[in-house]
Homo-oligomer: A and B are copies of this chain.
């Protein structure tokens, strides 16, 4: 089973890396960029076929390792 976990900064959390990218894009000639926020994506391959068990495991992985839930949100997508 394949899963994608997307971790993004919560609204209101400063993102200096995103701001730097925004500045660079403007410098490269893309004036229409109003905002950039950077996040992380994890593509996992999991053994087993139980989607609900996988979702529960992935939530636990996010809470323990993949995301810092104080400042980050996570989203889980599972595809067979």
Which residues of A are interface residues toward B (Cβ below 8 A)? 6, 8, 18, 21, 24-25, 28, 30, 32-48, 57, 60-61, 64-66
Cα A60 to Cα B35 with chains together (Å): 17
Q: A24-B65, A65-B24 are in contact. Are A38 and B36 (CB under 8 A)?
A: no
Copies of this chain, complex-wide, total: 2
A-B contact pairs, 30 of them (CB 8 A): A8-B41, A21-B42, A21-B65, A21-B66, A24-B65, A25-B61, A25-B65, A28-B61, A28-B65, A32-B47, A32-B48, A32-B57, A33-B44, A33-B45, A33-B46, A33-B61, A34-B45, A34-B47, A36-B42, A36-B44, A36-B45, A37-B42, A37-B43, A38-B40, A38-B43, A39-B40, A39-B41, A39-B43, A40-B41, A41-B41
